[in-house]
Structure 1
Amino acid sequence: MQSLDNGRGHKKFMGAQEIFPMITFLSASSDRKPALKIALIYLVFSGAWILFSDRILVMLVSDPLWVNRLQTLKGWAFVIATSVLMFLLLQREFRKLMTVRKQLKQSEATYRMVVDSSPDLLYRTDLEGRIIFVSPSVETLSGFTVEEAVGMKMAEDVYLVPEERVSFLELLRKNGHVKNFEARLKRKDGSVWWAATNAQFFRDEKGEIVGVEGITRDVTGKKDAEQALEASEQQLRAILEANPDPMVMYDLNGHPLFLNPAFTQVFGWEFDELRGRTIPFVPEDQAELSAEKIREIFKTGEPLSFETRRKTKDHRTLDIILSAAVVKDNTDTIYGMVVNLTDISERKILEAQYEQAQKMEALGTLAGGIAHDFNNYLSGIFGFMELARKHNRQEKVDLYLTKALESSDRARSLTHQLLTFSKGGSPVREIAPLDPFLKETALFALSGSKVSCEFDIPKDLWCCNYDRNQISQVIDNIVINAQHAMPDGGAVTLSAKNEVISRETGENILDPGPYVCISVADTGTGIAPKYLDRIFDPFFSTKQTGSGLGLATSYSIVKRHGGKIQVASSLGKGTCVDIYLPATGQVMAHPETPDPVDYRGTGDILIMDDEPVIREMLGQMLKDLGFSVQAAAQGD
């Protein structure tokens, strides 16, 4: 009937037992009690008049002539008295009737307003199922007018499936009433609509069942939504079953609603084993990650994917790519989650094998590059040493020996670079200014090339706590890369500035505090975007020559100093490398370079090394300084 507020903000479906007593009251026959009451009063009054009026008259008058005359007056008195009595009684009952009629009109108006304004359909049928009353909403719901609907038979003319009418009547006989009975009804245009009915038996004044009365609501939209949801679930189920990857649909309690065959095949559990349970396949070390991701997906409603691990029924552990998405109904309410579990265990094994193969290939490239560089350095050493041995002029000997030492220093630098990269040597730091050190390192790296270097270093540059040799490797590697990017010559710009990193600007990489940012920029060929993410990878190089360790080593050194290194590049325009080193926040005066001191000493020194050349070289150097030297290969 009407949608009434139940006091909690929800609407309820008014039942037939609440509406149809109004119809019964309005359609009941006239009450006979007032007429019977008047008749009884008249009977009592008339009987009393007949019984007592003659006796009283005989007692008062003894003359028969007067008695006869008074009998006529007595009759008129009876007529007048009964008329007055009837008037009073009828007037009293008329007033009551007017009051009832007024109430009746008010009730009828209320009922008519309710019936006419209700979107739900009110109806009555006789015992044969023929409609004897229907509300005006029948035309809106079914297309039939009230006149067309009255007289229709429910089973034949209204119900799409007569068996549903039979089920309706069986429930009605069993319970005496029916609530929310859903059935498909026919419209005038031949279409079908879903109706939910509340109904009860209709009884006459004697309490005999004479028909059925009910209220019907259109629930087509609700049923369409349910059917659409069911179709969607069936479609989803079909997708799940056809998916070669294991898939699970969960409810909001984390219990599985559905497992596809692939899940059983991969993990071993049947659905009946997991019904109403949490699937016991999350390793302990993955529990927190999984819980965090589940909270995230239900909070945002957005799909997500992450790599994790899951256990099988037979206790094997699989590497998994887990992809999850929430499942919503037609009201956009989340009622579950669907999860796809892609087993990448075999792929991980293949990746490890491929990575190992790449490492072996890279080691081959590295070995070739190192052998090439060492061969060049050794050629320089031996060549200049040979030249020094052949010349008698001291200045020539000094020149060739100096060149041999430079080649030796290059070889030693390469060795340090390899050790730094492979073992990660801890920096031996000291607080010192950067200005002269940066200039010397850059100029030395570019010596003999067609590339010049421009400097932009402020005088108030903060001091840093750094390992001079390791940071020298970093600057050397970056400047040489810049030189190689400009084969036809050009200029490298080395600049530095003080910078304070806050928690907001540190990007969770640098601790808040003072830093010096060293920038090395060139105008060379630049780096392709596809390579930018790999330039710090070990063994990676965009050049045909080289070991691919320069930037990887630089990255490792800067990171161990508590700083960071980043690269920005554009093809054809050049590259800029920024190096952030922790600073003291203070400026230190440049120390004066002390004059060379000729160190000499006395005493006995034991040299122990398994390499004869090292023993001989160190022994000769120490003897030249005045020490007495003994050498041994081991401590025996």
Structure 2
Amino acid sequence: MTLVWVMLGMLSVIVLAIIASLPRRKRLLMHASHRMAGIGSWSYNIEKNQLFGTELFFGLIGLPVPPRARMKLEQFLELVHPDDRVRIEQHRDTNHEGSFSIDFRMIRMDGKVRWMHAQMQATSPHRCVGILQDRTAARNLETEARLAHHHLYSFIDHHLDPIVIWRADGIVMSVNRAFTSLLGYSTYEIEGKGIADTPFIPDEHREQMDRYCRQTIENKTAVTFETERLKKDGGKLHILLSITPLVGADGRMDSWISILRDCTEQLAANRKLKEAQEELESFVDHNIDAIAFFNRDGKIRKMNTAFQRMFGWTLDELQAAPVQEYPFSNGRTEAELRERLEEIMSGKVTKNAEFQGRRKDGTVLPVMVSSTPFPDRNGLAVMFKDMSELKQTRDMLGRSEMLSVLGQLAAGVAHEIKNPLTSLKGFARLLEPSLQNKEQRFIGIMKEELDRIELIVNEMLVLSKPQVIMFEERDMSELLNYVIELLGTQAIMKSIEIKKEFEPVPLIACEDRQLKQVFVNLLKNAIEAMPGDGHGQIRVSLQQAGHSDSIRIEVSDQGQGIAPDRLARLTEPFYTTKEKGTGLGLMMTASIVERHGGTIHFASELGVGTTVTVTLPIQQGTK
């Protein structure tokens, strides 16, 4: 036994001598390199079951350096993960020649699990040496890389759009399920083939494909373009294709990935949508009715030509104007318009509502409005129909119907009226020679009035049978003076002053008896409208209408005035504001003025009075 210890001592001296014989600089470099690489050195004596390690070795397994830097193998194995312990024990029990390595997990004293890599070298049947290195970070990177690779290919395989990946040499590496589903090719028909030889690229688009691939290399960016691809059954698909170059670890482009999006149905839908939009725009632009589109806040967005023609406003002018100044605001305040707008936005549409619109020049026109909100409730469309002609047609139809009834009535009673009228005229002629000069003047007035009554009857008969009017030149001032003198007594009885404002005017072509009837009616109405309190005045003016070929006569009173809703109906047959009126006077008046080629206009203000303006052409055939 003593001999054994002596021999061991001598061997230690020899080893130390060998180590000492190594150049000191070489040993220092070896230890420094191990520390920098995080490598711990160890040796294991199988007979003595002693594991000797360096300070870095024990640092890696998480233990303080034990006395003499030695530990039992069992102590080391207790730190090894249970699932990996068996493999290490198998290596220990196997007689290895040469070197071998193993990866395993260790559970450090702090509870952390670390991956270790050990390399061993048998130096004798009873002894081996090796190194230990922490591979946790590397194993984690490998795991993350495998996971990322799995996620990438899982994403590609389950992507909704077809995807093709090919290498820099043009060989197709992979196609996903969406590709095979859309184009009908199997993976075996595409993968492993050259991208230039694949059957899904039409011949006329291969040069395009090459050009864009070169562009990705030159610009090092992805490209997107529209193209076509062939299905296995021969059908063509419109495709939005993107090609992205993939760069390898060496920084060079080593593959491409392309994503195909089927746009066939979208292009067809876009084409139909475009056609529908063009049809809608054509309908709106060429519609004879005014159409305008508005935003949710009421601001006008678009309008057609008919809108500008109807109201006189341009789009820019309306967009710059407040909502309450729009031609269809109808006098409403901004708050009222906002409230109405919200009602429309909530689904309360307007259909064929009539109201008064306003042109840019201030004139009023009747319009019919229909409005409806957009499906997304972010605006509304409004259609305006000019009701002027329709209203005139309605008025003319109603007037025609009334005149027809009146004509039938006139024809029925004309005979009864003419018989006593003839007798009165005859007796007036018989009395005329027996009267004095002054009394004969009254007989003359009676005869003229009887003639006027006959004229009225004849005018009523015109409703059923038109008559030819014979125009002669007459002095309008004389005609008006005659009417004023005729009704002067009635005016004096009501303490009303008739003020004349006559300017020199040319002779006009007219039928004087009919015009006398016109101004008798107007002046008589003015007298009857006056209160008769001794302070009233009626103004009758005559002047030439500017530089035109017309004259203008105005009859103004200071009566109670006429309400606007009644003013528009004054010339309707049988419409009257008097208790005992027949509603025929102003109708006949307007009819006579129209037959003379003139116009009649009524203006009135409640509590102030009424003004009737008659405009007549100087010569017939001019207005």
Q: Same fold by TM-score, threshold 0.5 exceeded?
A: no
TM-score (norm 1): 0.38
TM-score (norm 2): 0.38
Larger radius of gyration: 2
